[in-house]
Amino acid sequence: MARWIVVAALALGIAARPARACTSDGSATSLAAAAPDVFTWTEQADAIAEVEVTSAPGFTNEGHGLRGAVVLAVRATLKGKPGAKIEYVQELTPCGGQSKGVVQLGFFDARRGVIGFAATATKDAIVAWQRARTPADQLVVLAKLAASSDPSIAGAVAKRLAATWNAKPSAWKAPGTAALAVARVRELWPVLVAAARKDALAEFADAPTGGRCKLAATRQACSAARARIVDVEGAHPRLVLGALDALGSGDCWNVGCAVGFYTLVALVGADGRLLVVWIPPEG
């Protein structure tokens, strides 16, 4: 079982990383949680390649990767030109380590230094994400990939979305306007749907197009928005996304709509970041 976990960890990109405790029990949930954010690695890497481990130092009886030289043969290149062969020294790696013959994706810096490794199952996802021309296009790609049954892809997408749905937009001048706040929610909608718990936003599916859900925005104090949530649900509300701590001082744009008995509330900060998504309980 220990060696199986080592192989699973290797495939998900935690081999050849600094020593860490084992984090996977082999389930799809834990494998997804261990998956690296390959989309961030794609941005950081000077070269990405499909590589085969042709030489590795092996493992201890407990399944720990031994310290020693690792040699990788480049089979195909996704980005940059890493060369035909890459060598590096693997440190003693509890719950990890390279295995001879394993094929994976490698992410490398300009000096062929290892950023990390990921399962080859993520190859098509990375290629699709690279081909997306704008951040908005990339969000659409991520939203589609979020439904993947492969834990290495679903986990990578989840981590990227967690860092994306409330990112500060580049083209925003504080405090913004009602129209910009509405546009921001529409732009992020595919990401919100993918990042939220299953079907949480199903009632508001036409928010981007303005069907039954006709988004409108009003400006209010963030503290007032927080007070209303606490008044309705208490100190530990069941938010769709975000946390009460995000609603501090300053003003927010309250963007939302009502569909039947349901109301959508998306709170956008004065800097354009989406802070909280909340659906008040019926009644």
Which domains, ranges and CATH numbers included, belong to the chain?
A: 2-128 (2.40.50), 178-278 (no CATH)
How large is the average pLDDT for residues 261-280?
94
Is the model's pLDDT at 32 over the cut of 50? yes
State residue 275's pLDDT score.
94
Please tell me the distance from the alpha carbon of residue 207 to that of residue 194, in angstroms, as a whole number: 14
pLDDT reading at 231 higher than 90: yes
Confidence of residue 100 (pLDDT cuts 50, 70, 90): very high
Six token digits for residue 269: 């900060």
Q: Which pLDDT score, from 0 to 100, does residue 283 have?
A: 54
In this predicted structure, what is the pLDDT of residue 158?
A: 82
Three-state DSSP at 279 gives coil
Average pLDDT over residues 7-24: 41
Q: How many other C-beta atoms lie within 10 A of the C-beta of residue 130?
A: 16
- Tell me the C-alpha distance between 39 and 41, whole Å: 5
Q: What pLDDT shows up at residue 114?
A: 94
The H or E element that residue 69 is part of is strand 68-79
Rounded mean pLDDT, 52-61 = 93
Share of the chain above pLDDT 70, in %: 91
Tokens of 167: 């990112």
pLDDT given at position 28: 80
Shortest CA distance to 211 belongs to which of 255, 257, 267? 257
Mean pLDDT over each residue of the chain, to the nearest integer? 85
Q: Which residue in 119, 118, 105, 134 sits closest to 47, CA to CA?
A: 105
Distance of CA 260 to the CA centre of its chain: 32
Residue 257, pLDDT > 80, answer: yes
- Reduced to 3 states (helix: H, G, I; strand: E, B; else coil), residue 253 is strand
How is residue 1 written in tokens? 């079982």
Of 174, 40, 65, 63, give the one whose Cα is nearest residue 115.
40
